[in-house]
Chain A
């Protein structure tokens, strides 16, 4: 079946790099995503990667995909207090339906 797993919490110091990890089970995933959710807000699409890529960089964000191990990571360089939020990993199949992990709460301490 389809399942996405993430660790629940991550705490870093301002200026450090954050790495949020995710594993998934569906080998037919088309795209893999990272969404950000701030308190009381909807989901903001941060970045996504096509399943035949292994890396994507977008400013401070780097996504790494290990398709063999079904492992996805999001690295945030120079983490700021404004990056504090819940980060969701998600996968989609050809139909477009998103399967989300339970979210990783990132806490950035000054």
Chain B
């Protein structure tokens, strides 16, 4: 069974530029999560989708971050415009349902904002 796929793996941009990350969850997984992991810290949830609906986006900086999961499968996370403090690894995860015990993570996209 294929795992969670993410691209790109690495991205370097200058502040005020825009960037987008893509995630393809495990087939059949209804719930998709985006986490931000700043160096030296644990991941923090940005947004949670159940199919194509948002369940929790309370920690998403909505003035610059947006995310969508239009067909309930793939998802994109966008930052516009990027700030220096957005430098982090962006992790996508999926689970069968939000109540499922097992949440599987992709390899992440490492973003560096200069």
Show the binding face of A for B, using Cβ within 8 Å.
Answer: 4, 30-31, 35, 41-45, 48, 50, 88, 90, 92, 94-103
A48 to B100 CA separation, bound complex (whole angstroms):
12
CB of A100 within 8 A of CB of B104, answer: no
Residues in B with CB closer than 8 Å to A88 are 42-43
Q: Is there a chain A Cβ closer than 8 Å to B72's Cβ?
A: no
Contact B103 A94 (CB under 8 A): no
Contacts of A31 in B (CB 8 A): 101
Question: Interface residues, chain B, CB within 8 Å of chain A?
Answer: 4, 31, 33, 35, 40-45, 48, 55-56, 91, 93, 95, 97-108
A interface SS class: strand
Contact B95 A96 (CB under 8 A): yes
Given contacts A88-B42, A102-B42, contact A95 B56 (CB under 8 A): yes
Q: Which 4 A-B pairs have the closest CB atoms?
A: A100-B42, A96-B98, A43-B105, A42-B105
